[in-house]
Amino acid sequence: MALAEAGACGRLLLWPRVVLFGDSITEFSFRENGWGAYLAERLVRKCDVVNRGLSGYNTRWAKLILPRLITKSAGAENTVAVTIFFGANDSALKDLNPKQHVPLEEYAANLKSMIQYLKSVDITEDRIILITPPPLQESAWEKECLAKGDRLNRRNATTGEYARACVQVARDCGTDVVDLWTLMQNNQDFSSYLCDGLHLSPKGNSFLAAQLWSRLEKKLSALPFLLPYWRDVDHTHPEATLLPDALQ
């Protein structure tokens, strides 16, 4: 059977997708041992994991970009889960980092706006997972700042305020949430979860991946395995297995 004929006989295969939307912690998630790569490995042949991480972005910019990433005509119908992971930049100190800083109340309002937009394109709240910023290890991040000629431009206590606001938004809007800021500090030294005081280390990536997987596994367990296992393909007549529409 010619390729053109095969294409005409079979329906286009549309993989469901999980969209990871966030800042640099999301953008870096497909690096070796990253939390996004972990999810992609476990969901292969079930859905695509799409990285829409934007390094340095805050919620003020993110809410403007989101409608360009997901629309009713481009991706919403096939989107089975969305993670929204912002706050590390929003919580930067205004006096020392005014470009990235977003006031606390606006941060919460921006998260709500993004959730409302997703609902408007039929991505329901049960498919949305908010992730709070992780805790900030100030001494390590200060070294990063000093190396660039800057002063420490974030504080862990301030990041905690944004994390609590994120959790409250999730409660108000009925979405799931991973409270990374709290979970990483529960009765332990959290510095090993971070590589530079702000971004995730391999251990931090593994920790977040496990937290997300415990939530996504329930949501996505019903997704079918896409295309037959190779041993189940009729090797004498593969089109009978792979192009069932052609036989109808």
What's the pLDDT band for 239 if we cut at 50, 70, 90?
Answer: confident
Q: Identify the pLDDT of residue 13.
A: 80
Q: Which CATH number is 136's domain given? A: 3.40.50.1110
- Asked if the structure places residue 246 within a domain, the reply is no
Q: What is the pTM of this model?
A: 0.91
Percent of the chain at pLDDT exceeding 70: 93
For the chain, helix (H) and strand (E) counts, in that order, are 10, 5
29-63 pLDDT, tens digit per residue, is 999 999 999 999 999 999 999 999 999 999 999 99
| 188 has a pLDDT exceeding 50 | yes
- Asked if the structure places residue 94 within a domain, the reply is yes
- Asked if the structure places residue 108 within a domain, the reply is yes
> Two tokens at 177?
């949430």
Hey, what amino acid is at 149? G
200-238 pLDDT, tens digit per residue, is 999 999 999 999 999 999 888 888 888 888 898 888 889
Q: Please list the active-site residues.
A: 24, 196, 199
Q: Look at the chain and report how many structural domains it folds into.
A: 1
CA distance 196 to 181: 16
Q: Identify the pLDDT of residue 182.
A: 97
